[in-house]
Amino acid sequence: MAEGNGQPPPIGPQQEEMPFALVGGEPLTTPPEDLYIPPDALEVILEAFEGPLDLLLYLIKRQNLDILDIPVAEITHQYMQYIELMRELRLELAAEYLVMAAMLAEIKSRMLLPRPVEEGDEEDPRAELVRRLQEYERFKQAAEDLDALPRMERDLFPLRVEPPP
């Protein structure tokens, strides 16, 4: 028995929960509840982040991660490798990630370029990213909602009875 708690001692090494992602070297063991990540999502491996691209965009949107710390060129390289793998499997998912990678590249380039003084009222590029991500999430949710509806020949099979001759 283990000391003081009445439980037997563990027999082997205790298994820890596998991290879902690494953010700044810290493990993240569960995804956010308000984020859907497809099972075959693009996994990116960077110095500041390791995990699904959907989660990376989510964290940037929530300002838990600074986009200036993200090497977009490395994401692009990993994306191209992902495209090669997904070419025959699910091209539509690869296209979604192309849009995400393009948004990251555009936002980061706008953050890095100097802004003229007279354009002080220009919207922060991160706000544009948030707007686009919200729009993307709405379309993604709409697609999931449509997919959940019953479909003829997939979920519903009409009975076809021929009248007797």
Angle separating helix axes 53-61 and 125-148, nearest 10 degrees: 130
Q: Is pLDDT at 138 greater than 80 in this prediction?
A: yes
- C-alpha span between 98 and 106 (Å, rounded): 12
Instruction: Give the model confidence (pLDDT) of 97-115 as tens digits.
Output: 777 777 777 777 777 777 7
Instruction: Give the model confidence (pLDDT) of 13-51 as tens digits.
Output: 555 566 767 777 777 777 777 777 776 777 777 777 777
Q: Are 78 and 50 in contact (CB under 8 A)?
A: no
Instruction: Give the model confidence (pLDDT) of 63-85 as tens digits.
Output: 667 777 777 777 777 777 777 77
